[in-house]
Structure 1
């Protein structure tokens, strides 16, 4: 954006909010004109809007317009019509948004009812529109607008990202070859992965131990944590490995040659062949290793109960010797005692960190209904946040008002925000919609430290070179496959969670492995594999 826009942005004062339009006529039908469905400006439907629209710079429109916006409000957000950056941006763009935010608790049910009623907003923002919902409400009913032409013509920042990162564009392309959503993109090192691995360096130093490099050394360190009283309280209350819940047992899988492609239990080879490894011998070997840790009380004994409150309480008390977390904000009180380390070398020499995100933190972060009143202006509105200037503005706010640069040109929030008596995240939720994630924008190494501390960035930097060369997101599947996929996948998720936990805690012996694999085959694991293979092949 031009320097004049930057000067204007810094000088804008507070603003108000907006009231809007965007209702659809009949549930399950495409828009009446193909021009509206695809977002193309036509003489009949879009001429007036086009005349009011500026193709670059600010304001986006000459005469103020109003659009309705539906989305998920995090508990740390101020009401969206009171959020600083959104108000500043209204004055800059001349676009008034009528925000219809819904609390996170119950949001999915509310979203489904909204589509069922077909009383749709102009814009879906932070709405987490998932793969199956893209297929149902985009490809199927046409309630979501096709964005291909709009992005090409009105979103130069996003188009540039798609050109540089074609895998991101592939991930948001539906089975019919069209794009119905815009993702939240994180191309920072910290955002390229979910969990980072942490180990208590203070405990290692006290016990005279080095950071482990392989699985055997790791177990030896965990035994030292269990028996050596590293916290010095005279009690055997240390928890050597603090895995948080049943779904968090997978970070070590890379040491056994198991990827976590599509954010699930899949390997994809250089030829693009999809394979679910839940029945593989390598996974069995991994579970035997975890079972051994559990039996020796080296793994948190309550991990399978999914008790987040108890887990966080243990972390706050610095009870864990090693654990996995995306960011250090939840253990800031003892952050300095923990460091990141390289992936452990497995029994066959594998050393891989597989908890990769594919640079997309939310697939359906932004979308337009098929009756959006001003799709061209809406896409211009969101595209700003995918450029360097808009990224900094959304993440940090206004220089001198909410943040300052240090001598190295690194942004830092004002002390009154960092040390707010209401807590940092609540203070941040008055500035932007960062808390809870999922806002449609780009995050880079320049702005990830809003939530990523230097210690987190260091932990991520250690792991990034060990990630798979190519990371796949789950492709959208065809409508004819969607019902079958949902049925199989949900059954596999439920069975996997139960069975894997029973193997780890020893409730099932490994003599039941063949029965376990037969059950997965009966549920349809290979059929599911085939559905994803077909969908992935279609994206090529």
Structure 2
């Protein structure tokens, strides 16, 4: 009873503090709306959803509405089901005013989404009613060309990572205390990884020595190049050393990767449920010690798991490991790296909305000075204070009294740790990464040649997008299904040769040609 009363008292105090300290727009920054209501479709971030069940319960979204003078009625799809839910929504013909979605992956591309009357071409609206975004893009032409379609149309209010240090945040993670206990080095090569996983299983009795995300599609956790990259390929499109577009699953290195993971699965080194691992099950495996190695984020992984496991074992330690290579001394060819513009978190406006101007003004807020602080740091006096000219997170974020992990607390008051219509500030990361292991991760995981082999965010024409989507829908499904079957042992490794033949029959050479044409246009801009 005493514990319950203390928790209630803390919550009431936090609510009062939030109300008292909420920052109103300055006299020079008028609210974007007049109290009208916009419908807003989006999936709630997992860290926020682990604390509050809906958008309206999250302080950030309450404050955003207050600042802009626009009321938002949220339409929230089930967790991890945004793609399925958006298809149902589009088929209904009745869309909300604002839709937050990865529009670059829309079948036929954003150009077709505009032509089919789903979303607005935003050029004129941005020019007239979005001075903050317009000013930013004028200063950053290299980003400006990334957020437009092939015909020059703006289609979303984008999420932009404003510093090169923000572009790598994911990589291999292992239990350092287990390595110390077993007398093993931090693994760098595929052989060292194998030795480590075998030791985890045989000497420590670990049920699933390595686990990684298997949703929303099989092998999702290695798509940035983990393990498969040791064989010189990626699971998707990439550039070779001469700037030519390649598709990894039809290259010889992919067969070697499948053979490796088939062996590891048979030896019990990979999670037996690898096809269904989501973020919640991955968290549970790493926190409980069911697994000791994975590929995940410095924040949502190392930063979230470490405080929890150290309550039970003060020696417990998660550390970043380099992306694996075949031979000692090699430099990883691939690794997680993103461009400044990410299509995730892009916010579009329904083509038939009668409140488009209000929506544009509201969405532009995140690119201005006040919005920049709100989206990256939250509410002054509550989630951050100003120390000189530097916004500094309070203990509510970094040492939360209710034992929320920093990732969870941050998701309550800002959008810095995930996507949205704003420019991400590197000062968020410098504070969010509180642990040495997290700061080390930025260095370790960035030590790759990923920039050299990344396919830029090239834009296709409507026709190219339609053709590419039709090809890749079948190709991706086939690659995912056959890769999983080979790894699980239900198909022989030799089935890979038939996989390549089928992928080519589905038109992968044409898909590569489309990517190369788009790349040529992109490089000529």
TM-score, length of structure 1 as denominator length? 0.75
TM-score, length of structure 2 as denominator length? 0.77
Paired position in structure 1 for 2:347: 366
Call closer, same or farther: CA 1:253–1:406 in 2, change over 3 Å.
Answer: farther
Paired position in structure 2 for 1:331: 305
Paired position in structure 2 for 1:33: none
Call closer, same or farther: CA 1:304–1:78 in 2, change over 3 Å.
Answer: closer
Paired position in structure 2 for 1:394: 375
Alpha-carbon contact 2:171-2:320 (below 8 Å) kept: yes
SS in 2 for 1:242: coil
Deviations 1:143-182 (A, max 9, x none): 4222234445654543465466655433332232211112
Call closer, same or farther: CA 1:271–1:156 in 2, change over 3 Å.
Answer: farther
Picking from 365, 371, 378, the partner of 1:384 is: 365
Picking from 182, 187, 202, the partner of 1:212 is: 187
Picking from 486, 493, 496, the partner of 1:510 is: 493
Paired position in structure 2 for 1:526: 509
Alpha-carbon contact 2:147-2:341 (below 8 Å) kept: no
1:44-443 equivalences in 2 (<5 Å): 57-60=28-31, 64=34, 66=36, 68-74=38-44, 75=49, 77=52, 80=55, 83-93=58-68, 95-104=69-78, 108=83, 111-112=86-87, 114-116=89-91, 118-124=93-99, 126-132=100-106, 134-135=109-110, 138-152=113-127, 154-155=129-130, 157-159=132-134, 161-162=136-137, 166=141, 168-187=143-162, 191-193=166-168, 195-229=170-204, 236-237=205-206, 239-245=208-214, 246-247=218-219, 248-250=221-223, 251-259=226-234, 265-269=236-240, 272-306=243-277, 311-326=282-297, 327-328=300-301, 331-332=305-306, 333-334=308-309, 337-347=317-327, 349-363=330-344, 365-373=346-354, 375=356, 378-387=359-368, 389-404=370-385, 410-414=392-396, 418-420=400-402, 431-432=413-414, 437-443=418-424
Q: What's the offset of the Cα at 1:280?
A: 0.9
Higher helix fraction (1 or 2): 2
SS in 2 for 1:365: strand
**CA–CA distance in 2 between the matches of 1:339 and 1:164?**
38
Alpha-carbon contact 1:182-1:366 (below 8 Å) kept: yes
Gaps of at least 5 residues in structure 2 are: 1-18, 311-315
**CA–CA distance in 2 between the matches of 1:113 and 1:81?**
23
Q: What's the offset of the Cα at 1:241?
A: 2.5
Q: What's the offset of the Cα at 1:304?
A: 3.7
**CA–CA distance in 1 between the matches of 2:200 and 2:84?**
45
Q: What's the offset of the Cα at 1:515?
A: 1.7
Q: What's the offset of the Cα at 1:213?
A: 2.7
Call closer, same or farther: CA 1:273–1:11 in 2, change over 3 Å.
Answer: same
Q: What's the offset of the Cα at 1:58?
A: 0.7
Q: What's the offset of the Cα at 1:324?
A: 0.9
Picking from 476, 486, 491, the partner of 2:469 is: 486
**CA–CA distance in 2 between the matches of 1:386 and 1:418?**
28
SS in 2 for 1:241: coil
Picking from 430, 442, 447, the partner of 2:428 is: 447
SS in 1 for 2:468: helix
Alpha-carbon contact 1:268-1:274 (below 8 Å) kept: yes
SS in 1 for 2:305: helix
Call closer, same or farther: CA 1:209–1:166 in 2, change over 3 Å.
Answer: farther
Gaps of at least 5 residues in structure 1 are: 1-8, 16-53, 230-235
- Cα RMSD (Å): 3.9
**CA–CA distance in 2 between the matches of 1:287 and 1:110?**
32
- The size of the alignment, in residue pairs, is 479
Q: What's the offset of the Cα at 1:57?
A: 3.9
**CA–CA distance in 2 between the matches of 1:458 and 1:464?**
10
Alpha-carbon contact 2:397-2:409 (below 8 Å) kept: no
Call closer, same or farther: CA 1:502–1:90 in 2, change over 3 Å.
Answer: closer
Larger radius of gyration: 1
